[in-house]
Structure 1
Amino acid sequence: MSNKVKVLVHGTGFAGQGHAEAFRYAGAEIVGIVGRTESVVNEVAKKMGIPYAGTDWQQALQDCKPDAVTIATPGGAHYDPITQAIEFGCHVFCDKPLTQSGETAKALHDLAVAKGVKTAFAASFRYMPDVMHAKRLVAEGAIGEPLEVECISHFNLERDIPFGWSHRKEDGGGRLNNNFTHKLSIVTSVIGEKILSINGEVRDDLGKAPIVEGVHNFKTRRDFIPKDLNDPSLKWGESNVEWSYTVLAQLESEMAKQPVSVLFKHGGLHPRFNEDYIAFYGSKGSIYIKGHYGSGPLYLYGDNKTWQELPLPADIAADIPDVDGDTERNWRYLIREFVKDIQGQSVAPYQTFKEGSQYQQLIDLIRQNDNWVDVTHLQ
């Protein structure tokens, strides 16, 4: 008999197919895949060599009897299938955001704990190679006592990307759900996991987007931008989520006497003048990583008072899954750890529904936009 972990996939798009490949890379067996549209799920199952395809999640749980499930649908569609999977006794891997609200995210975490199943929350860009290098350098004292962090990014996203889940709060859209989750995970992995306080402001700079049929893959949605945006027959959907945010946070660190200050600044629709970056500043030096998610290279400002590019350590490089694409590589890294844990092997701590719940509650607080102090009375 096979001792492979049996996995059922929920979602047929870029994430669903990526999760399936990542579980196979980790030695798991993909026993089935579920999607909304019969023709699409059948096509994906055939292409990927998955033996079972269906549109009924509960029926698939009964038919496939998986050890674990992976949830690769938009955040607003997570709560019911995850609840059903946990009740069935499955371990659960879920992409970010965990759900569309802090309340439902906490309910899933509480249920998973009560049922004793393992969970993994895929805010997985903490596994970028240069981020892991930065974590090691900070732990070794390369910058002294960590003092503050900056995460700056501008995506210049096309304003006319077809209307879909990313435009709707109830579906798990918004830049906090789909950018901030990764940034926060990166910073906590380097500085420390305990978040002490948070303050933020969000803004919807978009307003509306064209409604277009036929968009099934998040990665190819740009291909569906209408050629004539002035077509009077074109229908438009209203955005109700943030496309820009500014967040301040304080983190506890075993390496610092005082809370570490963190600035997260993201403009989803704004152009960048220079490269995006993540920087860690300390009492004796600093680390600068190019790229909005720390894609590198990494530079260290140390005793010689100059910025020096550092190569990736050989052991970190050797442990990185060999696959094109940062997203796909990070999925594979985390899923490899998750599968080992399910099999009873010893692994380093990874993010679970505990963090997924915490992050969603933080996002709810930030979206309230109620941290301003009226100073109009001051002279």
Structure 2
Amino acid sequence: MKVLIAGTGFAGEGHAEAFRAAGCDVVGIVGRTPKVVQDVAAKMAIPYAGTDWQQALQDCQPDIVSIATPGGAHFEQIRQSIAAGCHVFCDKPMTTSGDTATELYRMAQAKAVRTAYAASFRYTPSVLHARKLVAEGVIGEPVEVECMSHFNLERDIPFGWSHRADDGGGRLNNNFTHTLSIVSSVVGDEILSISGEVRDDLGRAPIVEGVHNFASRRNFIPKDLSDPDLRWGESDVEWSYTVLARIRSQLAKQPVSVLFKHGGLVPRFHDDHIVFYGRDGAIFLKGHYGSGPLFLWDKTAGWQEQTLPAEIAAAVPDVAGDTEQCWHYLAREFVKDIRGEAVEPYPTFREGALYQNLIDVIRRNDHATAVTPLD
């Protein structure tokens, strides 16, 4: 199958490698800047390089498109791809609003094309292991989940798409999407209720020319932040959030309570982690996306690190980097599904649209009840 890539940064190159590993032919890549897209295409031996997405769809006639641009560009790229009958693999966020994401989901349904939504950290080895243990009843009925992360991001990272709501920025779009996907894959995806509080504690960031690859943006932080000629851009997205959810699980009689807590700009003291609590035990995953070791707690042994089962280890793609590993896993499942092979359920535009609608609800910050002093 032929694949056309949208985006020339870290995600674009990562998606291209993932689809090649899945047995596809990456026939083209599209970016905004002619020289950049030509350089990336040459480096990766991709035969077609262009800056016009609609023209590339016509020229390349792909079976699959892979959307690896910032979220603000997704709607039109995906709309055109669905209209052309392409299957669509899209990185998160799906779009910048619940309404536009839902529209694309309905379009894909009507056109009967396959979709994949790359909130893909559900495929780290420890998350796959946790899913297996919970399904086997090792911790009993799940009752509670806790997702904690504190990134301590540099406040002076150059102003860009991650600072702007219209471009798909914000920590809900780019962190919560992954943790919600992880929790849903382990305990269940029927979300009964959600509420949250968000905060923009950044304010502004320096405007710097020449930043292309998201992974190397730290290298462009100005050395002199007091320079009077330095220009600044204003953030309009959240950098911290607290979300509470209730999820129905087929493994439990009562809804599972879930806490999602993320501070993008504050330092951590203990390890970032995800914990699944059950009536008979608990599972601790080290790392903000559960990519570290897994520990199991029971009443007799306490906390004990667990060995990854051989069948899970064998299924994990042999590539460097957690992000890349998860892209490879999802792309492989997506391609198998398109070919008619049996696969486990994977995140699609159904989840992408649902998550964007939930993010809209959380960002409204309208769930709090004002407290009236008694005196």
TM-score range, shorter chain: over 0.9
Q: Percent identity?
A: 71
SS at match of 1:223: helix
**Equivalent residue for 2:262, pick from 261, 266, 271:** 266
SS where residue 274 of structure 1 aligns? Answer: coil
Given the two structures, how large is their TM-score scaled by the length of structure 1?
A: 0.98
Are 2:78 and 1:82 equivalent residues in the alignment? yes
Task: State the distance in 1 between where 2:153 and 2:371 align.
Answer: 34
What is aligned with 2:50?
54
Alpha-carbon offset, residue 193 of structure 1: 1.1
Specify which of 333, 345, 352 is matched with residue 348 of structure 2: 352
**1:31-78 deviation line (CA, Å, top 9, x unaligned):** 101000001000000000001010111111111000010000000110
Would you say the 8 A contact 1:142–1:302 is kept in 2? no
The corresponding residue for 2:92 is 96
**Separation in 2 of the partners of 1:351 and 1:186?**
10
What is residue 179 of structure 1 aligned with on the other side? 175
Q: Secondary structure at the match of 2:143?
A: strand
Q: Distance in 2 between matches of 1:346 and 1:139?
A: 20
C-alpha deviation, 1:342, in angstroms: 1.1
1:334-354: CA deviations, max 9, x gaps? 000001111111111111000
Name the residue aligned to 1:209.
205
CA apart distance, 1:378: 4.2
Structure 2 partner of 1:105: 101
RMSD: 0.7
Per-residue deviation, 1:274 = 1.1
| Equivalent AA in structure 2 for residue 172 of structure 1 | G
1:238 deviates by 0.2
* Residues matched between the structures, number: 375
Deviation at 1:377, TM superposition (A): 4.7
Q: Is the 8 A contact 1:124 1:182 kept in 2?
A: yes
Q: Which amino acid aligns with 2:220?
A: F
For 1:67, which of 54, 63, 67 is the aligned residue?
A: 63
Q: Establish whether residue 297 from structure 1 lines up as the match of residue 293 from structure 2.
A: yes
Shift of 1:183: 0.3
Q: Residue type of the partner of 1:119?
A: T
1:152 is aligned with what amino acid?
M
The list of structure 1 runs, each at least 4 consecutive aligned residues, that deviate by more than 4 angstroms after superposition, is none
Equivalents in 1 of 2:53, 2:251: separation in Å? 46
Give how far 1:150 is off: 0.3
Aligned to 1:341: 337
1:111-126 maps to which residues of 2 (within 5 A)? 111-126=107-122
Which string of whole-angstrom CA distances, capped at 9 and with x for unpartnered residues, describes residues 100-142 of structure 1? Answer: 0001000000000001000000000000100010001011111
> 1:376 deviation in Å?
1.4
- Residue 303 of structure 1 and its aligned partner are, at CA, apart by 3.4
- Find the aligned partners of 1:85 and 1:296 in 2 and give their Cα distance: 37
* Structure 2 residues without counterparts, runs of 5 or longer: none
For residue 78 of structure 1, give the secondary structure of its aligned residue in structure 2: helix
Determine which of 17, 21, 24 is the counterpart of 2:20.
Answer: 24
Which segment drifts farther, 299-308 or 328-337?
299-308
Structure 1: gaps (5+ residues): none
Give runs of aligned pairs for residues 122-137 of structure 1, distance below 5 A: 122-137=118-133
1:8 and 2:4 equivalent? yes
